A and B are shown apart, each in its own frame.
Chain A
Amino acid sequence: NAGVTQTPKFQVLKTGQSMTLQCAQDMNHEYMSWYRQDPGMGLRLIHYSVGAGITDQGEVPNGYNVSRSTTEDFPLRLLSAAPSQTSVYFCASRAGTSGKTQYFGPGTRLLVL
């Protein structure tokens, strides 16, 4: 049981490049989400999904796309990277209801030059 896994661990991009951050979970959780962590701002929700085929925007969705074709995977796409997207990105998953524990991946550190 690997929990929530993320790849890559670290990535450097140039402005305007695109990339996909991968996230997978093996706990059969309905709910998955992406956060970015910036100094002094805690974690902010980018996008989330309540099940395969269903996604919605969070607090800071601009510049990011997501899709959820399977229960296990929830990739985050940056179509045209900007320096403002330099951050640490965390994927998370939990069973559906609000009282359930949310599990986090180890994070992807992204630097956009």
Chain B
Amino acid sequence: GNSVTQMEGPVTLSEEAFLTINCTYTATGYPSLFWYVQYPGEGLQLLLKATKADDKGSNKGFEATYRKETTSFHLEKGSVQVSDSAVYFCALIPYNNNDMRFGAGTRLTVKP
């Protein structure tokens, strides 16, 4: 079936540190891949997405590249800020399906 696996958290970093949150997926064909962010007490907001292999999604300094050969979509940011503290979800939508599947989420805390 279709599924997403994220690295377990929580992740605690100092301001300006480099961030990587790993995400791998299982799906038939070519799914669309997404990263969503959830700030405390809020709903999910789209951070970035990629819809085909080798595409790079980017937004607010975050990047992720759709790697078909490793079935991965790792999230990276070169220099995190305290305001990046949130829960990050990796998700996919299979190409022939309407069902969006989420990873368990990774809580990031950035300390000054």
Query: A residues near B, CB below 8 A?
Result: 4, 31, 33, 35, 40-45, 48, 50, 58-59, 90, 92, 98-99, 101-107
- The answer to whether A99 touches B43, judged by C-beta atoms less than 8 angstroms apart, is no
Does B105 contact A102, Cβ atoms closer than 8 Å?
A: no
Knowing A43-B89, A58-B99, the reply to whether A102 touches B46 (Cβ < 8 A) is yes
Q: Considering the chains assembled together, what is the distance between the CA atoms of A40 and B36 in angstroms?
A: 16
Q: Which B residues between 22 and 39 are near A, CB-CB below 8 angstroms?
A: 31-32, 34, 36
B93 engages A104 (CB within 8 Å): no
Q: Once the chains bind, are A104 and B104 in contact (CB under 8 Å)?
A: no
Asked whether, in the complex, the Cβ of A41 is within 8 Å of the Cβ of B99, the reply is: no
**Which among A31, A41, A90, A99 is the interface contact of B44 at CB below 8 angstroms?**
A90
- Which residues on B sit within 8 Å (CB–CB) of A42? 4, 89, 102-105
Of all chain B residues, the one with the shortest Cβ separation from A44 is: B102
* Residues of chain A lying within 8 A (CB to CB) of residue B89: 42-43
A43 vs B93: C-alpha distance when bound (angstroms): 13
Q: A106-B43, A107-B43 are in contact. Are A99 and B98 (CB under 8 A)?
A: no
A98 near B93 with CB under 8 A, answer: yes
- Given contact pairs A102-B34, A102-B100, A104-B44, a sample of 20 additional A-B residue pairs in the complex whose CB atoms are under 8 Å apart: A4-B43, A40-B105, A42-B102, A42-B104, A43-B89, A44-B102, A48-B99, A90-B44, A92-B44, A92-B100, A98-B95, A99-B49, A99-B51, A101-B49, A102-B46, A102-B93, A104-B45, A106-B43, A107-B42, A107-B43
